[in-house]
């Protein structure tokens, strides 16, 4: 992408210098400056998003299990480093623990968070609690929330802590998430239609360099303004409750492959 932009800018500058020397009227100095301005703004936003993406990727990499509970001949769990595991070793996976190796489930059943593998999240059950007995369930849940008034160990196991003792912030979070998901789909449709029209007009030669520079940022501006509508999301009564997380789920045992 940098090569075509550089060529276009150089050609516009050279043509403008030549036209200026020949005392001709059409020049494109302002268009070049405008294009560079919007291009630098786009690069700044792109680098900011890349930094956030690297941070999220680092969080996913931190989910990798460094140790595992290996079962010996007496079926006793021994904590060992993941690197010490060998094929055909049996590993005990307790509720809320991370699976350290690939394997086959020999016994037990549970649910898994596959975000480390897929790199993205899907619709998952959530857990809210404030008591000491809720800590194991919060640790095992895919999404867990606790109030600021909860016990310290419960807050430590939760993914998020909200102020107050009422559950209204939970409803607000669900409303914002649903609103953001709908706006994301709208932005994809808007960007697709906008770029199809803009690229077609540019290909047919109906767009001047100044208009092209403005059009480059037009799509991002529209999408950003549409995304700001997520701030107006309000909590609505839930139509269906997510399935509860059982704290006493069966403990699966894996055999390495």
Pair 112, 133: CB distance under 8 Å? no
Average pLDDT of the chain?
75
Whole-angstrom distance, CA of residue 4 vs CA of residue 27: 20
Contacts of 152 (CB under 8 A, 6+ apart): none
How does residue 243 score in pLDDT terms, banded at 50, 70 and 90? Answer: very low
pLDDT tens digits for range 170-204: 888 788 888 888 888 888 888 888 878 877 887 77
In the predicted structure, residue 1 carries a pLDDT above the cut 70: no
In the predicted structure, residue 116 carries a pLDDT above the cut 60: no
What DSSP assignment string belongs to 180-200?
HHHHHHHHHHHHHHHHHHHHH
pLDDT tens digits for range 34-72: 878 888 888 888 888 788 777 766 666 666 777 888 888
For domain 66-124+242-257, give the CATH number: 2.70.150.10
Burial of 137: CB neighbours in 10 Å, binned 0-12, 13-18, 19+: buried
Tokens 């480059």 correspond to: 216
Spans of all domains in the chain: 1-62, 66-124+242-257, 126-166, 179-239
Provide the 8-state DSSP code for 122: -
- The first and second tokens of residue 81, run together, are 């480093």
Provide the 8-state DSSP code for 229: G
pLDDT given at position 137: 78
Burial of 43: CB neighbours in 10 Å, binned 0-12, 13-18, 19+: exposed
Pair 137, 113: CB distance under 8 Å? no
pLDDT tens digits for range 135-166: 887 877 777 888 888 878 888 888 888 887 67
Tokens 């991370």 correspond to: 98
The dihedral through the CA atoms of 190, 196, 201, 203 has a sign that is positive
Whole-model pTM? 0.41
In the predicted structure, residue 253 carries a pLDDT above the cut 70: no
Neighbours of 246 (CB within 10 A): 12
């Amino acid at each position: 992408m940098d090569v075509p932009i550089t060529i276009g800018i150089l050609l516009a500058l050279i043509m403008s210098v030549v036209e200026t020397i020949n005392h001709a009227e059409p020049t494109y100095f302002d268009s070049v400056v405008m294009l560079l301005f919007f291009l630098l703004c786009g690069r700044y936003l792109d680098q900011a998003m890349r930094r956030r993406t690297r941070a999220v990727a680092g969080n996913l990499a931190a989910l990798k299990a460094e140790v595992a509970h290996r079962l010996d001949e007496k079926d006793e769990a021994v904590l060992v480093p993941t690197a010490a595991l060998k094929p055909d070793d049996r590993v005990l996976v307790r509720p809320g623990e991370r699976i350290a190796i690939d394997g086959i489930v020999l016994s037990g059943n549970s649910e898994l968070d596959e975000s480390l593998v897929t790199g993205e999240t899907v619709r998952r059950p959530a857990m809210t609690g404030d008591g000491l007995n809720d800590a194991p369930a919060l640790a095992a849940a895919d999404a867990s929330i606790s109030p600021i008034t909860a016990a310290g160990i419960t807050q430590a196991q939760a993914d998020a802590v909200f102020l107050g003792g009422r559950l209204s912030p939970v409803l607000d979070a669900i409303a914002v998430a649903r609103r953001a998901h709908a706006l994301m789909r709208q932005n994809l449709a808007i960007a697709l239609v906008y770029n199809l029209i803009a690229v077609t007009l540019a290909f047919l030669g109906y767009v001047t360099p100044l208009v092209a520079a403005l059009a480059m940022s037009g799509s991002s501006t529209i999408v950003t303004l549409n995304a700001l509508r997520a701030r107006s999301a309000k909590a609505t009564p839930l139509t269906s409750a997510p399935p509860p997380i059982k704290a006493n789920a069966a403990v699966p045992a894996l055999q390495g492959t």
